Amino acid sequence: MNKLPIHYFLSLVIAVFGVVYSQQSAAESSTPNPSVTLAELSEPLVGANLRKMPALVERLELEAGTTALPVLEALLAGELYYQRSDKRLVRAVSQTEGGFQISDVFSTDALGSVAKKQIRKVKLNNALRVQLRAAIGRLTLLSDDPKLRLTAIENMLKKPDQANLELLQQARAQETDSDIVDLLNEALALNLLIAATDRQPRLQALRELEGSLQPAVRNALQALVALDADAQPLEQDIVVFTSASRLLDKIDGKLGFYAFLETLFFGLSLGSVLLLIATGLAITFGVMGVINMAHGELIMLGAYTTYVVQLLMPNHIEYSLLVAVPAAFLVSGLVGILIERSVIRFLHGRPLETLLATFGVSLILQQAVRSIFSPLNRQVATPEWMSGSLEINSIFSLTYNRLYVFLFALLVFVLLQLILKRTTLGLNVRAVSQNRSMAKAMGVKTDWVDAMTFGLGSGVAGLAGVALSQLTNVGPNLGQAYIIDSFMVVVFGGVGNLWGTLVAGLSLGVFTKFLEPATGAVMAKILVLVFIVLFIQKRPRGLFPQQGRAAE
């Protein structure tokens, strides 16, 4: 009577111990072993026969984890070899005449070219390929790293296959990230559409793909609705063919809409650059009537100031632009005041001589920059907060540097409006621009207004240089590429009118970008110039002409 409880108790203890031990062993076998390197785990692959390969691949997956991906991917691609001399595993990057370009499979370092007889391929067959795909899928699709999971799903979108369905369903069951879940649903639907044979699952897959903008989905639909040489659908099920065609038309419509938005964004980005460049010229040209051919070089000085600030702040690139903006404004503004005080003030009322004089100044500034910085272009680093893009969806994104330049241009425009409307300097500038003689008679110091106005316009040109340094390389000829465009914007908008400059800059930028796909960049600029010439024939004073008795 007493033996039964003891035996029962012993059996229960043994059973519990067995379960705990088996779970611990399973956990240990599924956890990468840090004491064994990937090279040591991969060494048995050298010269292994096909019967041993499945076990070796399984050990790599269990003990090396995601670190084994380079080896497994090279093996699946048929690019895993070993050198006959030292048994070193290598990856055949590309084939050359009589040999291969190889790299180290672990570090990806290039190892040069070898002859075919110097290396041997690690054995592979179809059954092993199936095992490798599943192993790579588990290591990436079920990884803890969201980036690896996204990469795995994107690869399965590009290459839909029946073998992907089980892994995708397993990943979908445990995924918590909403963005990855959406992509997983699209991958599942696309793989089901390609792999299924029954009509209903395929129609359901098409319904789930209705909002997708993934390029892989569109490519798969195009293949699905392809026609043979007799213009007959290759897809046998006419219902599936019709649904796929309708879905493809919807996707193409959305692609067209987002292509329009992308072109509009690039147009506004170009327009904002033109606005920044032309705003300073609009102030000086409108108030003083000076055709300043050195305006482009003042832009260049602003760009070089940004470059110098970054040289002085190599460990604080993220904050360098915050210092470069006021620095560029001061440098270009002071140079502008110097030009006005030393050259332009002696040439009032002589526009042709002013043009020639400022052209000479522009050559002097260009040569000075070449002597100081050399004729070579300089690259200004982009801060991290301006790098990358704002992704709206899989086909439409806004680059941060252009977005910030656009916002910066609008901010500068608003600040200039406040200066001209709410300050004494602004009042005097407007008085001189409308009627210089009357303003002088009322006690306005027109010489001081001219100097400050030219300095303000030159400072804004320096700000344009800061913006351009984030979009292109900085060089001695930077300003020359934009001087003609800035004059076109000023004349088109109306001389001296900032609102006209805003409308003209943005509209010409958008107009140019919409023309470029059809005509090319050079022809687009020519057509814009022809348009402005014809427009000025009709309205010589531009879109928003100045008002006043002496405006002409």
Is 463 within 8 Å of 322 (Cβ atoms)?
Answer: no
How far the first Cα of the chain sits from its last, in Å, is 123
255-264 burial, b at 16+ Cβ within 10 Å, e below that, comes to eeebeeebee
pLDDT along the chain (552 residues), means of 10: 48 47 40 64 84 86 82 86 86 79 84 85 86 78 78 76 75 82 85 84 88 84 83 83 90 91 92 89 76 89 93 89 93 93 83 87 92 89 88 86 92 90 83 76 82 89 92 87 85 82 90 89 87 86 66 51
Residues 307, 240 share a domain: no
| Contacts of the segment 536-539: beta carbons below 8 A, 24+ positions apart | 536/491, 536/492
Chain centroid to Cα 377, Å, comes to 22
3-state secondary structure of 67: helix
**What percent helix, strand, coil does the chain show, rounded to 5?**
70, 5, 25
Last residue of a domain, one of 193, 221, 256: 256
Residues 516, 413 share a domain: yes
* Total structural domains within the chain: 3
Residues 442, 306 share a domain: yes
Distances (CA, A) of 237 to 196, 210, 233: 12, 19, 9
Is 413 within the bounds of a domain? Answer: yes
Is 385 within the bounds of a domain? Answer: no
Is 445 within the bounds of a domain? Answer: yes
Model pLDDT, residue 309: 93
Segment 475-517, tens digit of pLDDT: 998 888 888 888 888 888 887 678 888 999 999 999 999 998 8
User: Quick one: tokens of 359?
Assistant: 């052209």
Is 99 within the bounds of a domain? Answer: no
Strand boundaries in 221-264, DSSP class E:
none
Residues 533, 433 share a domain: yes
Is 520 within the bounds of a domain? Answer: yes
Model pLDDT, residue 408: 93
Is 470 within 8 Å of 401 (Cβ atoms)?
Answer: yes
Which DSSP string corresponds to 307-373?
Answer: HHHHHH-TT-HHHHHHHHHHHHHHHHHHHHHHHHHHTGGGGTT-HHHHHHHHHHHHHHHHHHHHHHH
pTM for the structure as a whole: 0.72
User: Quick one: tokens of 489?
Assistant: 């914007």
3-state secondary structure of 56: helix
Is 386 within the bounds of a domain? Answer: no
Query: Which residues are registered as beta bridge partners of 378?
Result: 474
Query: Which residues are registered as beta bridge partners of 104?
Result: 90
3-state secondary structure of 248: helix
Is 336 within 8 Å of 454 (Cβ atoms)?
Answer: yes
Residues 334, 290 share a domain: yes
User: How many residues in the chain?
Assistant: 552
Residues 202, 314 share a domain: no
Chain centroid to Cα 371, Å, comes to 34
Residue 519, domain CATH: 1.10.3470
Residues 502, 459 share a domain: yes
What is the Cα gyration radius of the chain?
Answer: 34
Residues 284, 233 share a domain: no
User: Quick one: tokens of 479?
Assistant: 């300003």
Last residue of a domain, one of 256, 291, 324: 256
The secondary structure of residue 374, as a DSSP letter, is -
The secondary structure of residue 291, as a DSSP letter, is -
Using CA atoms, how far apart are residues 491 and 541, in angstroms rounded to an integer? 7
Per DSSP bridges, beta strands 389-391 and 119-121 are unpaired
Model pLDDT, residue 63: 83
Is 49 within 8 Å of 79 (Cβ atoms)?
Answer: no
Last residue of a domain, one of 256, 280, 295: 256
- Residue that the structure tokens 């540097």 belong to: 401
Using CA atoms, how far apart are residues 174 and 187, in angstroms rounded to an integer? 15
Is 438 within the bounds of a domain? Answer: yes
Query: Which residues are registered as beta bridge partners of 110?
Result: 103
Segment 80-109, tens digit of pLDDT: 888 888 888 888 877 777 788 888 888 888
Residues 418, 293 share a domain: yes
Is 248 within 8 Å of 439 (Cβ atoms)?
Answer: no
Is 95 within the bounds of a domain? Answer: no
Residues 177, 306 share a domain: no
The secondary structure of residue 398, as a DSSP letter, is E
Domain hosting 16: range is 1-30
Residues 368, 467 share a domain: yes
User: Quick one: tokens of 70?
Assistant: 């380079």
Using CA atoms, how far apart are residues 369 and 364, in angstroms rounded to an integer? 9
Residues 456, 333 share a domain: yes
Nearest to 393 by CA among 186, 548, 208, 223: 186
Helices (H), 31-68: 38-42, 53-64
| Contacts of the segment 512-517: beta carbons below 8 A, 24+ positions apart | 512/267, 512/270, 513/263, 513/264, 513/266, 513/267, 513/270, 514/263, 514/267, 517/263
